[in-house]
Amino acid sequence: MTVSPARLSRRASLAYLAWALIALAYLAFFALDLGLDYTQLLVPCAGDGCNFLALSSDEMAILDERGWSSRVYAAGMTGAALLTVSASCLLAVLILWRQGRTLIGWSVSLALIVIPISMISDPENAASQYPALFAPAVFLAGLGMLIMLLFLYLFPNGRLYPRWSWVLILLTYATFTTFNLDFMRVLTLPDWAHRLSVVSIFALFTLAAGFQVARYRRQSTPVERQQTRWIILGIFIFVLTFPIWMYTFGGVADIAPGMPRLLASVGGWLGSMVGLSALPVTIAIAILRYRLWDIDLVIRRTLQYTLLTGLLALAYFGSIVLLQNLFFASQTSEIAIVLSTLAIAALFTPLRRRIQDFIDRRFYRKKYNAERALAQFAATARDEVDMDKLAAALIGVVQETMQPEKVSLWLISDRFTRDRVIGKPINQSPVTTSP
């Protein structure tokens, strides 16, 4: 059965529309909760009804003694969350751009938005301030779990393994939804049912991990195995954020107020943000080093020009401040601006090449080595006049870049070419072979 291009186009449009609606809903919820967090962190608070990042009066006093205000603390904590979500969103958009028509690209790109926001944002906090958002928060939590399950079961090639694992997806989703409704007090489960749901969720996720191990051993190609290793590393680091959060904010440890509580809050939150960033970072490495979903060129250019823009901006504003302080303190800043602009224009091309070389060395080592080998051969071809040495150099560069099992070089002499042009019998040319 074939599907018409018009129907495929409609399906793709609906998929993009659904992606945009879900992503915007999560980002709106994140922005709302982040604004509430910033406001709540400005004032001291202690007790069960406070934001888990809020500081007491003693901790606020310690900040004041060291020249820091509550605004600096609130901006730093919420800024770390914003940077984490922004990095995930950037990679999600790039994956959607290249693989949005596939289920694996659709689910992974959404998972990169859903996972950090679900871990950072607190539905109960938003619902306490805006009761009308309680039902949408419950719905988004269930939808996010479905997206994360698709990511877990479809990675890395977009196919279910085994084929009947969709049954486990539905069972896991139903179990988690029941547990989440009980957690958010929408319904009340008996104690035995609550404990059973917790055990079932753990068992089902363990089974999903087991299926990924079986896929890795029986079905994955060597490249997919390398990709899977990086993603497993990211998931492992991500899972480590749970004990950090439980120890710092979940009440597992009784942390004394004052400096210990302040250090625990800052360190625990920043450590959690680093753990949450591990998944998009490892996915980016899998893309760059092992061409995951064939968007490595997009990531490569993005890294290159992001680093280039940041370094040029830093150099530009730094040179303006330096020139004004050293030479033009009594004059207007126009001379410093002109000199800084000229310096940036001169730095652009060499800095871009250095950044590109750095990225190629770290993530495109084979491509970098091949380009260097070709450049060396080009230099040899310009200077070498001995045909035997030139042939040996050519065979060497082919072996280094292509790594074939056997190399044969066919040299055509002037006499051979001349005889062919005038129609004489063609003689075979010598062949140089290297194993």
Which has the higher per-residue pLDDT, 323 or 264? 264
Q: What is the pLDDT of residue 82?
A: 92
Does pLDDT of 428 surpass 50? no
Q: What is the pLDDT of residue 5?
A: 57
Does pLDDT of 385 surpass 80? no
Does pLDDT of 430 surpass 80? no
Does pLDDT of 2 surpass 50? no
Percent of the chain at pLDDT exceeding 90: 3
Q: What is the pLDDT of residue 105?
A: 81
Does pLDDT of 12 surpass 70? yes
Rounded to two decimals, the pTM is: 0.64
The two three-digit tokens of residue 279, written as one number: 């998944």
| Per-domain boundaries in the chain | 5-133+236-294, 305-363, 367-434
**Angle, CA of 228, 229 and 234, to the nearest 5°:** 95
pLDDT in tens, 174-205: 888 888 777 777 778 788 887 888 788 888 87
Does pLDDT of 423 surpass 70? no
pLDDT in tens, 209-246: 788 778 877 887 777 787 777 877 887 787 777 777 77
Which has the minimum average pLDDT: 249-258, 322-331, 396-405, 411-420?
A: 411-420
Per-residue pLDDT averaged across 312-321, rounded?
A: 72
Q: What is the pLDDT of residue 85?
A: 92
